[in-house]
Copies of this chain bind each other. A is one copy, B any other.
């Protein structure tokens, strides 16, 4: 494929081999850059992962993205220049029309002024680049290829460091004016706990991993006992990762159990509120904690939603995301494809 495609688009079309039409997808995260090359059906033909340059300027981050993409393309037997398009899913303020990314707090050194990520990457890679919100594209991937396949409308909830979300309504991603899906900043308790966003009572203030970690530190300072931070040190980590939470739950650590139970209760209220407003068919649970804690906790969240659902006979299923760590990169690649049908 590498040779035959170099400059013969006519021949590619004549042969009609859909595997020769490839798109790139990049999930740009705070710790890693995940790149894939997929075919029309979204099947992964090549992939690569690199760490995100931890103190890089925006330009350094884009260079690292390009290198990761190049290696994923090589693994797929192609080059970035031959891709029909590349999608990038990113956290922060995505301006899809302008291809800029601003208000990024945990990628590289972070930056607030919008940076032309799409233009810069497109110049390096030699193909069109589009930007999207990281969670929205991951949810779109689950809709088309993962746990959301049986449904026409769903709410995706990405339970990790924060609580992100994305919507698909009647088969189409709903982005509002660009910022839809912030399920983590629905108010579940007016005047309640302080959230990382500075507001009070948000779902994320109770269920986000970062919020729970802050709360655990506070409890330890108050003299409460927990194995959470011992587990962290034993694993050589500087943060309470999803696997540390899972381990502490398995050991029936009292503080971890209390915090996660509270998170589940708050997720129940917040997600039920979203269902009462939108009446979608299903909830897809992803993110670090969502996929790590898996079906048992999906089922517990389902039960926590039940008392708040307005039409009780229509309680939607809560399914665990199926595409795992690649959902963001695959979803980004789908964003670069022309719409189906």
Contacts and interface: CB of A to CB of B under 8 A. Distances in A.
Interface of A: 153, 165, 167, 169, 174-183, 185-190, 197, 199, 201-202, 265-266, 269-270, 272-274, 276-281, 307-308, 310-311, 314
Given A179-B314, A279-B179, A311-B179, A265 B187 contact: no
Contacts of A186: 186, 273, 276-277
A274 B274 CA distance: 8
B174 A169 contact: yes
Given A169-B169, A307-B199, A308-B199, A279 B187 contact: no
9 residue pairs, one from A and one from B, having the closest CB atoms: A176-B279, A186-B273, A180-B279, A182-B276, A187-B269, A185-B310, A185-B276, A182-B310, A179-B279
A310 B276 contact: no
Given A179-B311, A199-B308, 5 more contacts: A177-B281, A180-B278, A182-B276, A186-B273, A197-B310
A180 B277 CA distance: 5
Contacts of A314: 177, 179
Q: Which one of A169, A187, A277, A310 has the highest number of Cβ atoms from chain B below 10 Å of its Cβ?
A: A277
B277 A190 contact: no
Contacts of A269: 187, 190, 201
Contact of A187 (B174, B177, B185, B188): B188
A307 B197 CA distance: 11
A60 to B, nearest CB: 27
Given A269-B187, A273-B186, A279 B178 contact: yes
Contacts of A174: 169, 278
Contacts of A190: 188-189, 265-266, 269
B176 A278 contact: yes
Nearest to A178: B279
A180 B170 CA distance: 13
A274 B165 CA distance: 13
A195 to B, nearest CB: 10
A259 to B, nearest CB: 15
Nearest to A180: B279
Contacts of A177: 279-281, 314
A188 B177 CA distance: 24
Contacts of A181: 277, 279
